């Protein structure tokens, strides 16, 4: 059930988009001041089936706990892959409630270096 404190925490941003700028300045986070703000639909329901397949998913149980190991074979650089990997990780965490670990295996050093690079929100 949605409660007033929950609603107040996020609706503040809807009613005063400038709070974003003030909050991020106060926290010294690296965002430019917004030039435009648009309120979008909060419904994340997919209206059509989306096929998403990880190459291999395994549940690993150790003495200190369990986790999911996702193994992806990557032949070349693919600018769309980091977004797919972010989706896989978040979906499997939500589905199984276990921390996911992504292992990307590559046949060449160039692709491996690219795959190991830092990503932000699924973008290399």
Cα 73 from Cα 104, distance rounded (Å): 6
pLDDT of residue 15 exceeding 90, the answer is no
User: Left (φ > 0), alpha (ψ -120 to 50) or beta: where does 97 sit?
Assistant: left
Report the predicted TM-score, pTM, of the whole model to 2 decimal places.
Answer: 0.71
68 secondary structure, DSSP code: E
pLDDT tier for residue 3 given thresholds of 50, 70 and 90: confident
Per-residue confidence (pLDDT) for residue 102, from 0 to 100: 93
Per-residue confidence (pLDDT) for residue 124, from 0 to 100: 57
pLDDT of residue 2 exceeding 70, the answer is no
pLDDT digits (tens, 9 = 90+) for 53-67: 899 999 999 999 999
Cite the DSSP H helix spans in the chain: 4-15, 18-26, 81-96, 109-116
pLDDT digits (tens, 9 = 90+) for 20-72: 788 888 888 887 787 777 777 878 788 888 888 899 999 999 999 999 999 99
Cite the DSSP H helix spans in 17-107: 18-26, 81-96
**Residue linked to tokens 């369990």:** 66
Local structure of 57: helix, strand or coil: strand
């Amino acid at each position: 059930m949605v409660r007033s404190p929950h609603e107040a925490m996020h609706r503040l941003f809807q009613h005063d988009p400038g709070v974003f700028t003030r909050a991020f300045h106060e926290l010294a986070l690296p965002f430019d001041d917004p030039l435009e703000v648009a309120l979008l639909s909060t419904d994340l329901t997919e209206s059509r089936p989306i096929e998403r397949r990880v190459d291999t998913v395994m549940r690993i149980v150790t003495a200190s706990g369990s986790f999911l190991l996702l193994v992806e074979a990557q032949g070349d650089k693919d600018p769309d892959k980091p977004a797919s990997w972010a989706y896989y990780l978040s979906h499997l965490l939500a589905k199984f409630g276990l921390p996911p670990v992504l292992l990307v295996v590559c046949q060449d050093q160039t692709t491996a270096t690219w795959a190991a690079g830092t990503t932000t929100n699924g973008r290399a």
